[in-house]
Structure 1
């Protein structure tokens, strides 16, 4: 397994991580997590909101991960997040953070969290207060490293000035390249690792989704603009070209998309999510895909910044 270092504080992780958000709480998910560890994947990403369909069920996905890691905690780098609530908007005040970290430690069945992210910025709490509280948790040994998710350049700089950030997590893929303008240059300048979530465009870039009807009726993606109407048709054209290039290179479309991300910088560690071990194994094949300068130029022609039709989330312009 190839490894990469996130940030300047020495956090070494597998070059590809595993996102666990969509994993149901069942034995197949446990087998997939065990398979990831067996294959050398160390970075496992969750959040307190994942699996929390009701207020009282916060930590559902963390509990799954904690169960799967019993007896194998030392093989994993656990990344989890706080700050998204059901009804109060993003939270980052000291009291909320202290309550959240203790709950996550309990759900995960561990006495420390390797990488603790603020899931979304809290507009009502100065980032200096949030970062200061997280710095205190590092001193207490409850967390090892600090991260932010979907934060602006200004907030990143301000938080980093209080305590070094180890990672920033933000959506990044061949159809979501907005971070290339300001975010990626900034984290490179400051020595912060970058962890792209949805690196396969919520599954669209795998080439497995051929029509809107391929999405189950209860699939959340049905509500996302990029999966609807003319947007879907236009995005499918791009995915088709990616698939053609992948076939020529003898790899899967997902492997090509992940290899492209890995080629964007040594500080980048994507976290594709999957429920199935065979899909995880396919994703890891991206580490064996070599992209030449000509390959990268061709990909740039196929999927330049801004090519995706539709907003990332419902309600966005």
Structure 2
């Protein structure tokens, strides 16, 4: 039995999702004539109480498009030092938009309104880049699936309003945060200028993210998506998976969170574990005590037992639970860990 805990992106479509995909009504989405894509975009906009939505091949492209429509070359965005838009999007902010990132040293990928306010460059000081955008990631990947406090997000939003800054949410795993904290999509839709949400992580779709905003911003995003090569033709087959996921796979994220917390609890009691980050959702980040067992030996033992996880750098390892990680796999993994 292969147990893949590298990421929640490794999931395969369920039979129900495949059936929805196979029976989807499709058209040419580049001409906005795919009825299933249009339905998904309308559904997403309605969920968040926002005017419009646009289907993208990937979350990275959705984030990079948001940065592009909110900034001009030479300007600067503010994000936490752990942010996905800075660490894991290939330098796209500088390559695609010509902007720099002002990094904030937050806690587990989360910064405060005060920290944001401190690093805004004076708009009349032309020696420094003009600050134009604040980017948030919820949940935080490098922060171990941590969930932001909604009131802190609102406070940062007020800072953005006061300083005439745009406010973007990288919500790749927002669905996890909503379940973990019992929050509403409408709360987030009322707060941000743009939101990207991923369908191919916890919700189990094979491909796809959606960018949300007002009609004017999404109109601009459509042009940027074209420039980036993100226009797809009969994309309704993929959008159908997204519709199915929204209707069937959101509540079950609690199961992933439960399993991740059980793994966290077990790791905390093992002698060869140096540190385990708090676990709120489906990501467990931890470090090996090199005096007890080397990280290389630990990874080798897992591989020999058919278990795959991933390194995050700086001696940190990551486990991500997901819908294809079954109860049987969970029991096996929990039996193997104490006996490595």
For the criterion TM > 0.5, the same-fold answer is no
Question: Larger % of strand: which?
Answer: 2
TM-score by length of 1: 0.31
Bigger relative CO (Cα 8 Å, ≥ 6 apart): 2
TM-score by length of 2: 0.30
